[in-house]
Amino acid sequence: MCPDQTSNPKCILLFSGKRKSGKDFFTDLLIERIGHDNGVIVKLSAPIKSHWAQLRGLELSKLLDSSSYKEKYRQDMIIWGESMREKDYGYFCRHAIEMCRATDKSVWIVSDARRKTDIKWFHENYKNVKNIRIFTSDDVRKQRGWTFTEGIDDAPSECDLDDFTSWDFEIENNGNTGNLEESLNLILQLIKQEVPVIQGTN
Ligand SMILES: Nc1ncnc2c1ncn2[C@@H]1O[C@H](COP(=O)(O)OP(=O)(O)OP(=O)(O)O)[C@@H](O)[C@H]1O
C-alpha cells in the first residue's frame, strides 16, 4: 500500500521488549517530549483488551495501563489474540490505528510490537518505520514484579521477537537514568529529522 507520506504518519517507531522491560514507561516519556499534538501511542493490544473488556465487563482503562490488573486476564487474551492473528496478521494493527485515530498525528509510537508479523505489516504498509528493542535484565524485570509464568513467558507473544535482529535502535533499561536519557535524545533526533515541526521540543 505505502500511502503518500506527505500525509500522516511521517514516522513510525515500533517498540518491543519482554514483559516489564519498560515499554510503557519509555514510550510514555517519549510522547511527553514529542507532544500529544504531534504524536500518538498506538497499542496493538488495545483492540484485544477492548474486546475482552466488553465480553467480560472489565475496565478497559485498567487493562491498558501498566497496573497489575491486566495480568489476571493476560493468558486468555493471548489465546484469543492468537486465533485472530492466524487468520489475519494485520487485524490488530489496523484496529489499533483506528481506535486511537492515529491518522491525525505525524508520529506513531507503537508501544507493544510482539510478532515478526507486526513488524512485517507496518513495513509493508508504510515508509519510515523504525524497529526499536528495549532490553532489560531478568533481575530488573523481577524487581518490577515479573515472575516467569508458563503459557505466557514461553508463548509466541512473548518470544517471537527473541531471535529478531534487525533493530534500528537498542535501548537498555536497567534503571540507569543516564542511559535512558541518551536513548530518548537519540530517538528524538531521529524523529526531528522526519518531522521538522518537532524541532522546538527537547
Ligand atoms: N527506567 C525505569 N525506572 C523506574 N521504573 C521503571 C523503569 N522502567 C520501567 N519501570 C517500571 O517498571 C514497571 C514495568 O514497566 P512497564 O509497564 O513500562 O513495562 P512493559 O514492558 O510495558 O510491561 P508489559 O509488557 O508487562 O506491559 C512499571 O511499574 C514501570 O513504571
What is the CATH number that goes with domain 24-200?
3.40.50.300
Is position 18 annotated in a ligand binding site? yes
- From ligand 1's centre to the CA of 142, what distance in Å? 11
- The complex scores an ipTM of 0.98
Q: Please report which confidence band the pLDDT of residue 3 belongs to, taking 50, 70 and 90 as the band edges.
A: very low
48 touches 92 (CB < 8 A): yes
Write out residues with Cβ below 6 Å of ligand 1.
17, 19-25, 66, 144, 173, 175, 180
Three cell numbers, residue 42:
498506538
Three cell numbers, residue 162:
527473541
Q: Name the H helices within 12-70.
A: 23-34, 46-56, 60-64
Strand partners, 133: 16, 170
Is position 72 annotated in a ligand binding site? no
Rounded CA-CA distance 171/169 in Å is: 6
The per-residue pLDDT for range 92-150, each reduced to its tens digit, is: 999 999 999 999 999 999 999 999 999 999 999 999 999 999 999 999 999 999 999 99
The per-residue pLDDT for range 162-193, each reduced to its tens digit, is: 999 999 999 999 987 788 999 999 999 999 98
Question: Around Cβ 87, how many Cβ atoms within 10 Å?
Answer: 7
- From ligand 1's centre to the CA of 66, what distance in Å? 7
Rounded CA-CA distance 164/117 in Å is: 11
Domain ranges in the chain are 24-200
58 touches 73 (CB < 8 A): yes
